[in-house]
Structure 1
């Protein structure tokens, strides 16, 4: 299988996975209980959007160090998503299975970002 050259942030697999997480979060936050808590719903959506946005913004920067910093911010946003999912679970807005699915997606995304950060740090 031939690798596609990465020319834009849209070509990044990690960005594609981040967009998938946003879609999952939006589907989850349309549920009756969670959608009524506007603060938590908005924060969860914003945190998920922050991941893909920071990957994109960092990629468009001219400095590899800046790109790494934006990837670190994106990684931090994966932690925010995980924390907010646990809050939603604990207050009874979502079911355990829903929480685990998105939580695991956020963990995988965080690991992908960590690997990318490490690789970029080695190439400095």
Structure 2
């Protein structure tokens, strides 16, 4: 069994997490314990849940953590929309992150589908 760090979806979420971390350094200081904290937490949660799901024994358990990772990814996008609305980021920066989000979401959905297809089928 490969390590979770070998999973392309985890690697992609790591890049997104690191990019978000850099991005928040440009946010106003009054957002440090509000938007910055929230978007950092949600972006970290994506990779954390992929890793935890990878360590689970059963496919069903693993896919539950991936669904949680997907929720955290979607939350991250919502925080980016807030940053756009508050004019902390430009439309161009938002679109770059939205593209990264969409890539990560496709990968997560593919991995969830893969795991679900690994479950033994019930007869009858």
TM-score (normalizing by structure 1): 0.90
The residue that corresponds to 1:3 in the other structure is none
Superposition misfits of 4+ residues, deviation over 4 angstroms: none
Q: Secondary structure at the match of 1:31?
A: coil
Q: How does 1:26-37 map to 2 (within 5 A)?
A: 26-33=21-28, 35-37=29-31
Q: Secondary structure at the match of 2:103?
A: helix
Q: Which moved more, 1:91-100 or 1:44-53?
A: 91-100
Q: Secondary structure at the match of 2:89?
A: coil
CA distance in structure 2 between the aligned counterparts of 1:16 and 1:116, rounded to whole angstroms = 13
TM-score (normalizing by structure 2): 0.90
**Per-residue Cα deviation, 1:24-65 (whole angstroms, up to 9, x for no partner):** 1011000043x5312100000000000000000010111111
The residue that corresponds to 1:61 in the other structure is 56
The residue that corresponds to 2:103 in the other structure is 108
CA distance in structure 2 between the aligned counterparts of 1:104 and 1:42, rounded to whole angstroms = 22
Aligned-residue Cα RMSD (Å) equals: 1.1
